Structure 1
Amino acid sequence: MTSIIDETAPPEPRNANSWARLADLGNALRSGAVFILLAALLIGFSTAEPAFANLGNLMSILQAVAVVAILGAGVTVTLAVGGFDLSIGAIAASSVMAASYAMIVWGLDTFATVPLVLAFGALIGLVNAFLIVRLRVPDLLATLSMMFLLSGLQLIPTAGRSISAGLILPDGTTATGAYDPAFLLIGRSSLFGIVPVSVVLMALVAVALFVLTERTRIGRLLFATGGNEVATRLAGASTARLKTLAYVISGTLASLGGIVIAARVGRGDVSSGGSLLMDAVAAALIGFAVLGKRRPNVLGTIVGAVFVGVLLNGLTMLNAPYYTQDFVKGAVLVGALALTYGTGRSISS
C-alpha cells in the first residue's frame, strides 16, 4: 500500500502548459510589437498608396528621420546614466547658425567648419556635465537653462536675422562668404545615387553607439550608473567621468545633426530645430518598447524614429491634415509606453 502511494505523483494541472505557452507568446508579441506594427504600417500604406513603397520615397523617409535619430541617440546615452538632455534641440539649432556663420562670415571651408562645430557641441556637453556633476544642478534644470541660453545666444551675432550669402551684419558690413559646395554634399548628396549621406551618418552613429553601450565595459558602466549610481561608485567606477562622457556625446551628436540640417537647407535659419527636441525624445522613449528592453537602447531609438517617420509620411501621402501630426506622434508615444509598462505582469499571474 505504501509503495503504491509513493509511486503515485500528484496530477499536474491540465492547463499549466497552456498558460506557460500563452505567457511565452505574450512576451514574444510584446517584445516584437513595434516591429509588427511597423510592418503593418508599411503594408497598409503601400496598399492604400502604391507610391509609398517606391525606393525613392523610402529613402526620403530615412533622410527625414536621420537628424531626429542622431539626436535621439544622444538623448539615449544621457538616459542611460539616469540623466536627461533638454538642450539638444538648441545645440542643433545653434550648430546650424554656427556652421553658416563660419562659412559665410568667416569664409571657412568644410574641413575647418565641421570640426569647429562638432567641438562647439562637445563644449556645450562639457558645460552641461560641469553644471550637473560638479555643481550638483539637477539635469533637467541645467539643460533647460542651457536650452534658453543657446536659443538667445544664436541670435546675437546676426541681430536675429537668418544667415545667407550677402548677410548684412549688425555693424553695417556685408558678409562676402558662401556655403562650401563640399559642405552641401553632406545634406544633399547620396551614396551610389541611392542612399543619402545623412542616412549613412545615422547608420554609422547607430552602429558606433550600439557597440559602445551594448558590447563594451564602458557601456555596462553607463547603465550601471543610471541604475544605481552609489553602487557603481563603490565598485570603483568614476560616475562623474561616465556622466561627463554621456553629455559630451549628446552635445556632439546634436551638433552633427545641426551640420546635416545646415547642409540640407543651405542657410542659417533662426527657426531651425524647433521640433527636434520633442521628436528626439519621442524616438528615445518609443525605443523602450523595442524588443521588450524597457530601458534606453540605441537600436530602439533608431527604430522609434523610423516608426514615427513612416507613420507621418504615410499620413501625408494619404492627404491627412497636417495639424493632426502632433496628435499622432503623441498617440504613438502613449501607446509605446503603455505597451512597455502596462503589460509588465505575465499572463499567468
Structure 2
Amino acid sequence: MSSNDQRLPTQPALRHHVFEFLYKWGMLLTVVLLIAGFGLASDSFLEPNNIINILRSIAIVTVIAIGVSISLTVGGFDLSVGSTASLANALVISLFVWYGFGTTAAIVITLLLCTLVGLFNAFLIVVLKIPDMLATLATLFVIQGVAMTYSFGGSITENMVLPSGDMAEGTIPAAFGLLGQVPVIVIIMLAVTLVAQLALSLTRHGRRMYALGGNAEAARLSGIRTTRYRVLAYVIASLLAGLGGILLASRIGSSQVNAGSGYLMDAVAAAWIGFSLAGSGKPNALGTLVGAVILGVLQNGLVMLSVPYYAMDIIKGLVLAIALAITYIQRR
C-alpha cells in the first residue's frame, strides 16, 4: 500500500476535527477576527473609549436577548420582548414624571407590570394552545398598542405638557440615571449573564427547562411539571425585557415611542448565534453574550469604516445565517 493510500483514511477524520473545532469555538474565533480586522482597519477602534462604547451599546441587547434564550430553553420563542421593553420604558419614566415615584418603587412596579405580559403569553400558549411564535406575535402588537396608548402616542419627558394642559412636575432621580451609564450598565449585563448561565447549567430547574425544550413529552412522562416551567420561562423573558426597557430609559433619560422595538431583531440574533458556543447546541447565556458582542463589534466597526447604515442589516443577517447553519448542520 502506498503512502498516499495510508493517508486517505485520516482525511475525513481531519475534516471532522476541524469542523468540531469551528463548531465549538467558531463564535469566539469570529469575535477575535472581527476585533483584529477592525483594529487594523481603524486606528481608533481599539481605543479604551471605543471598547467602552461597544460594551455600553450591547448591554441592553444582551439583557433582552437572555430573556429570549430562556424562552428558547423550553422549546418556545418570545417575539414580544421588544414591545415589552417599550412598555417598561414608558412606564418607568411616567412613574417619575407623572406621579413622582422614587427610583426603587418605580422600578419594582414596572417589573411587576411586565410580568403580566409573560403571564398573558403563557395563557395564550399553555391554556389556549396557540403556537409560541404566533401567540407572542399577537402579544407584540397588543403590548405595542398598550404602550402607545398609555403614552398618548408620544414621548414622555420632564416638564412635558400633559393632555389635560397641566405641566408634568415630576423629575427623573439622579440615581436612576446612573443605571444606564458605565460601569453600572455593564455590571448589570454581566450579572444577568452570570446568574442566568449558572441557573441554567447548574440547577435542577435549568436542567428541567432544557429537558422540556429537548422533548416535552418525555419531560412530562418523567414527572417534570412542564406547564409550570413554560410559564416561568415566559415570565422571566418578560422580566428581562422589562429590565432592558428600564436600562434604556435610564440611558436616554426619557420615554420614546416604541423605543424597545428596535432591539427585537438584535436580541433574537444574539440568542440564536449563542447556540453554537462551545458546541452546546442549545440556548445559553454566555453564548448569547458572545452573540451580542459580535453584533456590537460589527455595528461599531462598520460605522467607523463609514459603511452606510442601511447596509448593516445585510451583514448582521449573514452572520445569523452562518450561525444557524453551523448549529443545524451539526444536528443532522
TM-score, reference length from structure 2:
0.94
Identify the match of residue 290 of structure 2 among 303, 318, 321: 303
Matching of residues 143-154 of structure 1 within 5 Å: 143-154=136-147
Give the match for residue 40 of structure 1.
Answer: 33
Give the match for residue 87 of structure 1.
Answer: 80
Give the match for residue 165 of structure 2.
Answer: 172
Matching of residues 206-245 of structure 1 within 5 Å: 206-245=193-232
Number of residues paired by the alignment?
A: 328
Q: Describe the superposition over 1:177-220 as per-residue Cα deviations: whole angstroms up to 9, x where unpaired.
A: 011111001012x3xxxxx2111111011110101111111111
Structure-2 change in CA distance of 1:171 and 1:339 (3 Å)? same
Quote the Cα distance in structure 1 between the aligned partners of 2:15 and 2:79.
41
Identify the match of residue 267 of structure 2 among 270, 280, 285: 280
Q: Percent identity?
A: 42
1:113 equivalent in alignment to 2:106? yes
Quote the Cα distance in structure 2 between the aligned partners of 1:111 and 1:300.
31
1:340 equivalent in alignment to 2:331? no
Structure-2 change in CA distance of 1:69 and 1:271 (3 Å)? same
Amino acid at match of 2:280: K
Quote the Cα distance in structure 1 between the aligned partners of 2:134 and 2:90.
24
Structure that is richer in helix per residue: 2
Quote the Cα distance in structure 2 between the aligned partners of 1:260 and 1:157.
19
Give the match for residue 316 of structure 2.
Answer: 329
Give the match for residue 251 of structure 2.
Answer: 264
Shift of 1:75: 0.5
Shift of 1:40: 0.9
Matching of residues 65-80 of structure 1 within 5 Å: 65-80=58-73
Quote the Cα distance in structure 2 between the aligned partners of 1:298 and 1:70.
9
1:51 equivalent in alignment to 2:44? yes
Identify the match of residue 156 of structure 2 among 140, 148, 163: 163
Quote the Cα distance in structure 2 between the aligned partners of 1:246 and 1:274.
21
Quote the Cα distance in structure 2 between the aligned partners of 1:83 and 1:221.
14
| Aligned 8 A contact 1:92 1:273 in 2 | yes
Matching of residues 129-140 of structure 1 within 5 Å: 129-140=122-133
Structure-2 change in CA distance of 1:289 and 1:178 (3 Å)? same
Amino acid at match of 1:123: L
| Aligned 8 A contact 2:85 2:261 in 1 | no
Shift of 1:14: 5.2
Give the match for residue 292 of structure 1.
Answer: 279
Select between 36-45 and 138-147 the one with higher mean Cα deviation: 138-147
Q: Describe the superposition over 1:211-241 as per-residue Cα deviations: whole angstroms up to 9, x where unpaired.
A: 1111111111101111111111111110000
Shift of 1:317: 0.7
Select between 264-273 and 286-295 the one with higher mean Cα deviation: 286-295
Structure-2 change in CA distance of 1:159 and 1:14 (3 Å)? closer
Select between 277-286 and 24-33 the one with higher mean Cα deviation: 24-33
| Aligned 8 A contact 1:74 1:254 in 2 | yes
Quote the Cα distance in structure 2 between the aligned partners of 1:257 and 1:39.
27
1:28 equivalent in alignment to 2:46? no
Quote the Cα distance in structure 1 between the aligned partners of 2:93 and 2:300.
29
Quote the Cα distance in structure 1 between the aligned partners of 2:133 and 2:142.
14
Shift of 1:276: 0.9
| Aligned 8 A contact 1:157 1:170 in 2 | no
Select between 150-159 and 110-119 the one with higher mean Cα deviation: 150-159
Shift of 1:29: 2.3
Q: Describe the superposition over 1:22-46 as per-residue Cα deviations: whole angstroms up to 9, x where unpaired.
A: 4223311221111112111111111
Structure-2 change in CA distance of 1:141 and 1:204 (3 Å)? same
